[in-house]
Amino acid sequence: MSKGTVVLAYSGGLDTSCILVWLKEEGYDVITYLANIGQVEDFDAAKKKAESLGAKKVFIEDLRAEFVEEFIWPSVQASAIYEDRYLLGTSVARPCIARRQIQIARQEGAQYVSHGATGKGNDQIRFELTCYALYPEVQVTPWSMDANLMHISHAPAGLYLMTKSPEDAPNSPDVLEIEFKKGVPIKVTHVKEGKSKDTPLDIFSYLNEMGGRHGVGRIDIVENRFIGMKSRGIYETPGGTILYHAHLDIETFTMDREVRRIKQGLGVKFAEMLYNGFWYSPECEFVRHCIDKSQERVEGKVQLSVFKGQVYILGRESPKSLYNEDLVSMDVQGDYDPCDASGFIKINAVSLPGQLPASPGI
């Protein structure tokens, strides 16, 4: 007699295949679920393997478009980066994967969900916090190279898959123009070739292609895991790295200084919550709402080049620009009033009583 039904987040690899067999031996009916979030995977072969090992049903879900629009784009808006270097490629995928797993569990009347994340890693926490947030009654049966559309993570440095070595990259740059609206990219154009992409999935996939071609987005870091230990990570995030630099440039160009200071703090908080698995928490929902509000004026175009592992900003334009070349120029006075309503007094003006004289040349 069956002990109940388990929805297993399945990859087709050794770990989750062993879990499938073990769950069957323990008396559970097992439904396997494979999420396509952009990783290179033979999904047909994985399905056949799951069926041969006794899976009751196999779900293969294409989540790539919603992964970009609902999870990567908010991370771009936030300029989300953990401990100053990690662009959170694994972290941002987990709430997307686990959400669909819970939807399947509810749909199929399953009492349990299972995953292959190890006990010493962050992913066990990320999966389980999402599961309990979206389906409090569910029980988790917990028992890696990780890859998705945004990035890939490894242990050995010789396993780079998304990016060429910068030494082997082309000897001439590719120049791209990225157009933003409300802080998210709406179009990318190859300036020389005239090729354009204008859907979220196509934009991100093309930036991955261009960044990978030039060896952009490789890092080797030691990070602080949520569970209290340091770990080494080697990551490739080509498209995400390009977008991080481009978004930062257009945001600075269009956003009020004081708003941006607050938004920067929210971005750091968002990155911590995302890394630690709190995407579906009320506090993370609140922070995402505030960040989204901050992006209302963030629109325009950024031109950049990718070359030998680097992203170089070449220029930007925006109808919402807060930059005024005449106002900032030291050579043009224009209509600038040094004692306008802002209350600031021009530093190199004649000092008033009780003020120190300004230093020459300021």
* Residue whose structure tokens are 């388990």: 6
User: Is 44 tagged catalytic?
Assistant: no
User: Is 294 tagged catalytic?
Assistant: no
Backbone angles phi, psi at 174, to 5 degrees: -105, 130
User: Is 321 tagged catalytic?
Assistant: no
- Of the listed 15, 281, 292, 321, which one is catalytic? 15
Long-range contacts of 353-356 (CB under 8 A, 24+ apart): none
CB contact at 8 A, 61 and 34: yes
Handedness of CA 100, 105, 108, 109 (dihedral sign): negative
User: Is 15 tagged catalytic?
Assistant: yes
Contacts (Cβ under 8 Å, ≥6 apart) of 332: 326
- Of the listed 29, 123, 174, 249, which one is catalytic? 123
- Of the listed 64, 94, 99, 288, which one is catalytic? 94
Start-to-end CA distance of the chain, whole Å, equals 84
- Of the listed 106, 144, 196, 231, which one is catalytic? 144
- Which positions are annotated as active-site residues? 15, 94, 123, 144
